[in-house]
Amino acid sequence: MVSIIALADAFKSEEGAVDYLLAQGVLEMPICCDSPMRLMKERPKMCQCSKWPCKLKKSLVQGTFFGNSKLKCNKILLLSYLWCTGSTHTAIVSQSGLNKNTVTDWWGYCQELVGSTLENRKIGGEGITIEIDESKFGKRKHHRGHRVEGVWVVGGVERTEERKMFVVAVPNRSARTLSRVINSQHPRSSGKSYYY
C-alpha cells in the first residue's frame, strides 16, 4: 500500500487527486476530434475539446467509481484510503473533515463493493479442511450483564495458507439452517454474507 505521505498532494485538492488518478491510469482523458481533450482549470472533473469550433465539454469521472458521488475526488480518495487501511469510523471523520453520516454512507458503500466483488467465491474443495463455527453477536444494556439482542452468525475458514473464509448471518442455528449454509458453500441464500 502506498504511504499516506506519498499521497499528500492527491488528498490536498481535487486538482491534485485528478492529476494522480490520470497518472495512475485510473481515469483516462477522453478523445474528441481525434485528439485528447484538456482539463478545465475552473472545474477539475470536467474536460473540453481543444479544437475550434467544437469545444465539447465532458465529465472526466462520469461512469467511474468517482462519478457516483457528489464528493470531490480528493475526499473520495482519502475516504477510500482510510477505509482500506482499517481506520476507525471516528478517525475517518476526524481526518477527512466530513460529517459522520457521510462517512457512514461511504463506509457502507465500500463494504457493499467488496462484498459484491467477492460474493460468488466458494471456499474448500477436495482435500481441504474447513473449520466451521457459530456465534451470537449482540449488545448488552449499559455494557453489563448477558447479551439481550443479537444475530447468529456462522463462519468457515480453510486450513490453508490463504485462510479463505466466509461469514453469514442466519435467522437461527437449527440443523436445517446450518446444513444449508455448510452444504451450499454459497451462504448468500440464507442471509447477508461477507467474504474475505
**What pLDDT is stored for residue 5 in this prediction?**
86
Q: Does 4 score more than 90 pLDDT?
A: no
Dist CA 64 CA 30 (whole Å) = 13
User: Measuring CA to CA, how many Å separate 104 from each of 4, 51, 99?
Assistant: 21, 43, 9
| Average confidence (pLDDT) over 43-58 | 88
The SS3 assignment for 155 reads strand
Q: Which of 9-13, 120-124, 129-133 has the highest mean pLDDT?
A: 9-13
| Residues contacting 171, CB < 8 A, separation 6+ | 152, 177, 190, 191
